[in-house]
Amino acid sequence: MNSSKVAIITGASRGIGAQTARLFAKNGYAVCINYLSNSVAAEQVANEIEQAGGKCVLVQADISIGSDVKTLFETVDRELGCVSVLVNNAAILKTQCRLEDISEARINEILRVNVTGSFLCCKEAVKRMSTKQGGLGGAIVNVSSGAAKSGSPNEYIDYAASKGAVDSLTRGLALEVAAEGIRVNAVRPGLIYTDMHASGGEAGRVDRLKTKIPMQRGGQASEIAEAILWLASDKASFATGSFIDLAGGL
């Protein structure tokens, strides 16, 4: 337990982000719960953490907007201290369809949130963590997706492509800052029981596809959170530019 550790978790009001926030707080981190619009859900996560004796702060911010990201990090600087862990979890998904039915506006929105948002958050984190810039080092964990490898044909190629970009960001940034005390890794969840599938128009998608998973079941957000915590911790001190596939064998 180390109360001096500060973690920013984007998109932490639900699903993997919420479970990660709870787990980090349980392990002694002061946690920033970032959310876009669902303040009720974010407050519920914060209340759970505080009732368990943890420390957290809620920050509403659209991570695809540079000024919002700066405000997010400055708020954490002021209220919790310098960030030591960034978990890039926030992402969006649109209704399942084939590529020819994906609008230009949809493509741009997916890339703006899922890709630009991750870049902007990494940029602010590196400024604070880099030993080259006077920081104490830190860890960045990007939440990618098994879709980056499968391509998600007939469902959401745009989302898959955005996660492929996150994979490239992970590898490139890891090499760029490896000598500056910053480790950058990623998890690639497969079919996980979260509310995101409803955003794709099929809330029961995991149950429909679980027989294709070698383990014959979908994953839980808590299982992804455990991997994120490990990658962020000193136990993973020699891991950078690495990926953990959490897809039940897919």
Structural domain harbouring 97: 6-245
CATH number at residue 116: 3.40.50.720
SS3 119: helix
Residue 233 has pLDDT above 70, yes or no: yes
Catalytic residues: 159
Predicted confidence (pLDDT) per residue in 213-223, tens digit = 888 998 899 99
pLDDT at position 192, please? 87
Residue 185 lies in a domain: yes
Q: What's the total number of domains in the chain?
A: 1
SS3 229: helix
CA 36, chain centre distance (Å): 14
Residue 196 has pLDDT above 70, yes or no: no
Residue 45 lies in a domain: yes
Residue 145 lies in a domain: yes
Predicted confidence (pLDDT) per residue in 168-185, tens digit = 999 999 999 999 999 999
Q: Is 244:231 a contact under the CB 8 Å cutoff?
A: yes
pLDDT at position 198, please? 58
Residue 250 lies in a domain: no
In this structure, how many other beta carbons lie within 10 angstroms of the beta carbon of residue 110?
23
Name the token pair of 245: 């596939």
